[in-house]
Structure 1
Amino acid sequence: MSNREELILLRGRGRVSALGTNGQGPAAASPGFTMRQQGPAALPVAALPQETEKQLVALGQQHAAYRQLDRTVLLAILAARQASAQAGWASHPEATLAVSIGSSRGATGRLEHHHHEFLTTGTTAVAASPLTTLGNVASWVAFDAGSTNGAALSHSSTCSSAFQALGNAVAWLRAGMAGRFLAGGAEAPLTAFTLAQMQALGIYSPFEATQFPCRPGAGKPSTFVLGEGAAVFALEMVSRAALQAERARQVSFQPAFCLESVGFGFEAISSKTGLSAQGHHFQAAMRMALAQADCAPAAIDAVVLHSPGTPAGDAAERQAMRAVFGNNLPDITSNKWLLGHTLGASAALSLDYACQLLATQSWPAPPFATDLTPAPSRPIRRVLVNAAGFGGNAASAVISVV
């Protein structure tokens, strides 16, 4: 890991996805896909399982104002509560708490609802505007967390949005502008209009839910599958000395996850839905993340790919990997074959997956032909995570165990 005296620690993690809320280490036979009718066609989607859906519904009934909130906001709150509880922050509320949440589309369901209402009746609800602004995602998380003295920041940079939020949190913590951060991403895009948009792009998977419809690294046909979810992290800056003193008081060794860096890349291409064959934005993001972490490419043991199952996107990311790592490629893995592409939440869920890999030293092997590494070939000490989205944006993060 880097030689910084001050470490950004992930004190707690929370996640909600098609795999539920209990981590990301399921058996290979249990991905989280179901079929949903979309016009004349039925599409595979990665929706919440029934038990997690009950939790989300219950959350929406806990406060009068929550009954109007968009599903994206509720997902973010549910994940943030898990992260805060794991961090034990409720018993130590004295530090300044800020919130930074990324979402590609924000309050998708509420926006479509209010727009339909307007087209149908010519009027709209008083609350339509505040409930559909992107900023209401972070502000409601801050409200639920009881923050009264920190910033509430919402970010939208397509599918790298969660890393924009985490990068902002890292910068604020290092600048002393906050003592603690709840940061991550949330997205609830399983609406008729959003599914129709993905269909229109011609990238949606032709496979049934039971056929592992999202297949990163499998080549043609395109196997993009839309999913919903959120992941939020409780971030805190701690000195090495303070961490050592904390360890001395522990009865047993408790590993801590260190977010070493977040890097960004951009490529100015004419197509805002495309990317170069060389993945220049991926290259820039990975190189920045490595430089910020003071980490040589050879020190990366595994990469959690963005890899959404689109042949062009998958190929460009592999080209970028070869440009950055040369012939010494690390192991590569992805969680999208288990929980789909969750747009603005995907980077955060990939980072949570990276933590799972560091903790368990394992990952499930995809049951289809792919270039993903079936199992780790070496001890996993440091992981690089990639994310990218429409508009030429890319972001990468480096995480390790201390």
Structure 2
Amino acid sequence: MQNPVSITGISSISPLGITSKEIWDLYKESSHQITFEDFMGNQAPVAKLNETSRQEIEKLKEENSQYTSLDDSVLFAVFAARNAIKDANWEGEFNFGINVGSSRGATGLFEEYHKEFLETNQSSTLSSPTTTLGNVSSWIAQDLRSKGPDISHSITCSTALHAVLNGIAWLQSGLSDKFLVGGSEAPLTPFTIAQMKALKIYASGRNEAYPCQAMNWNKIRNSMFLGEGAGVACLENGIKENALALISGIGYATEALTHNISISTEADCFQRSMKMALKTTDLEEVDAIVLHAPGTVKGDQAEYNAIKTVFGERIPALTTNKWKIGHTFGASGILSMELAILMMKHQEFIPVPYIEHKKIPKKLSKIIVNAVGFGGNAVSILLELPEKKN
């Protein structure tokens, strides 16, 4: 990176809620947000928005008749974007770019429209425009009246952190001064759950205290489950006085696949992305890593192997939020970034409750956030706590 980039605002909507205080309060609790729901006769653990958050989405739909036809993945993103620009004091500004992506896009609507087509051999008028991936950023742009570029993309589960990379590229190229970045996902649908179960990576343990065993290196079965939500961050070039955190390093890598969802035993992609993000940073300066760690046996272990290879005996404190809020696919990276920023703000490390943590940091000044998706596309972001001026 040429220069640090400031994160001047961040907001989310997830199973943890919508305000910074309620999200942090729930992070400090050792409970998870899992409920068991019925999907066409099959039970599955999921993490849904709470009732208050769901009501906010319903209010949003009532504001504009066009919003009633939009998928949840779009509505979540619009809601988070509105609050992010408030957090960054961008209200009344329109000259910024947008890159908010999604792994699956309008999953719920697509399934509804496809079912309708199979039953009637006809398609609804809005079935095409409301299911395109471009919906996500374009509706944010419409809602906020922004004048900059608006980009939607899918790079599976590393989508949100790739949006961060793209935003930084636009900023440091001089083509834009401000960029809104993030990811959104609404994957709690019968077909999506069935797809994950078909891969045999979905959690099943109703009687377990923690159905998802992310970061449990000794687990013998896959335990990933899905959550829904969105997160959006405001990026500005340079070090701003109102910066919540600085992005001081970025890294990315793609590794060769042996099959569609593979990752190498040593997670070569993570090794390269973390090394790129670190560059000349002293390993001992990194206080924590927020892992991607979705709760799969091979995926979790591969990321841990990569960390051991990069850091050797200097492994920082490790944590993840997947055990608590599920895997939100394309939104997961930005929600991990939010956790990292909250930990730095409050100077408190959030542990995984069923893990024996060998290291609890006394300070949190630099944190790495990881994400990787199907396709072996890894991203690592080095976040740094800005120095406070007297």
TM-score, normalising length: structure 1: 0.90
Query: How far apart, CA to CA, are the structure 2 residues paired with 1:396 and 1:325?
Result: 14
Unaligned runs of 5+ in 1: 247-253
- In the TM superposition, 1:254-333 aligns within 5 A as 256-291=244-279, 294-333=280-319
Deviation larger for 220-229 or 160-169: 220-229
| Matched-pair contact (CA < 8 Å) for 2:171–2:237 | yes
Return the letter of the residue paired with 1:77.
V
2:54 aligned with 1:53: yes
Give secondary structure in 2 for the equivalent of 1:88. Answer: coil
Matches within 5 A, 1:137-286: 137-147=136-146, 149-208=147-206, 211-218=209-216, 219-238=219-238, 240=239, 243=240, 246=241, 256-286=244-274
Shift of 1:212: 2.1
Partner of 2:362: 378
How far residue 195 of structure 1 moved from its aligned partner, in angstroms, is 0.4
Q: Secondary structure at the match of 1:140?
A: helix
Q: Determine the C-alpha separation between the residues in 1 that align with 2:79 and 2:51.
A: 15
Q: Which amino acid aligns with 2:195?
A: Q
Alignment-derived partner of residue 86 in structure 1:
87
Q: 1:347 aligns with which of 307, 315, 333?
A: 333
Q: Secondary structure at the match of 1:144?
A: helix
- Identity among equivalent positions (%) equals 38
Contact conserved, 1:28 with 1:366, CA < 8 A, in 2? no
Q: In 1, distance between residues paired with 2:76 and 2:262?
A: 29
Could you list the runs of 5+ residues in structure 2 that have no partner in the other structure? none
Q: Determine whether 1:32 maps to 2:33.
A: yes
Give the total of aligned pairs.
Answer: 380
Instruction: Tell me, in whole angstroms, the C-alpha distance in 2 between the residues paired with 1:111 and 1:178.
Output: 34
Within a 5 Å distance, the mapping from 1:125-136 to structure 2 comes to 125-136=124-135
Give the superposition deviation at 1:38. Answer: 2.9
Structure 1 position 210, deviation (Å) = 7.3
1:101 equivalenced with 2:84 (yes/no) = no
Whole-angstrom distance in 2 between the partners of 1:70 and 1:261: 34
Does the C-alpha gap of structure 1 residues 375 and 144 become closer, same or farther in structure 2, counting only changes over 3 Å? farther
Distance 1:220 1:210, change over 3 A: closer
* Pairwise CA distance, 1:282: 1.0
- Segments of 4+ in structure 1 off by > 4 A? none
CA contact (8 A) 1:45 1:209 kept: no
Q: Is the 8 A contact 1:364 1:375 kept in 2?
A: no
How many angstroms does 1:211 deviate by?
Answer: 2.2
- Aligned AA for 1:362? E
Measured in 2, the distance between the counterparts of 1:158 and 1:376 equals: 31
**Residue 352 of structure 2: SS of its match in structure 1?**
coil
The offset of 1:177, in angstroms, is 1.1
What is the SS of the residue equivalent to 1:387?
Answer: strand
What secondary structure does 1:359 align onto? helix
8 Å contact from structure 1 (residues 184, 233) kept in 2: yes
SS for the counterpart of 2:235 is strand
Letter in 1 for 2:212: C
One-letter identity of the residue aligned with 1:87: A
- Asked if 1 retains the 8 angstrom alpha-carbon contact of 2:214 and 2:295, the reply is yes
In structure 1, the residue corresponding to 2:331 is in which secondary structure? helix
Tell me the distance in 1 between the aligned counterparts of 2:352 and 2:172. Answer: 39
State the shift of 1:40 in Å. 4.3
In structure 2, what is the equivalent of residue 123 of structure 1? 122
- Verify the 8 A CA contact 1:76 1:230 in the aligned structure 2: yes
Whether the aligned pair in 1 keeps the contact of 2:8 and 2:243 (CA below 8 Å) is no
Matched, 1:387 2:371: yes
Residue 39 of structure 1 deviates from its aligned partner by 4.1
Contact persistence 1:278–1:317 (CA under 8 A): yes
- Secondary structure of 2:57's aligned partner: helix
Write out per-residue CA displacement over residues 138-160 of structure 1, whole angstroms, 9 at most, x where no aligned residue.
1111111111x210001111100
**Cα deviations by residue, 1:58-110 (Å, 9 ceiling, x for unpaired):** 1111111111111000111111111101111114x16x211001211111111
Q: Is the 8 A contact 1:163 1:262 kept in 2?
A: no
Are 1:16 and 2:13 counterparts? yes
SS of the residue 1:21 aligns to: coil
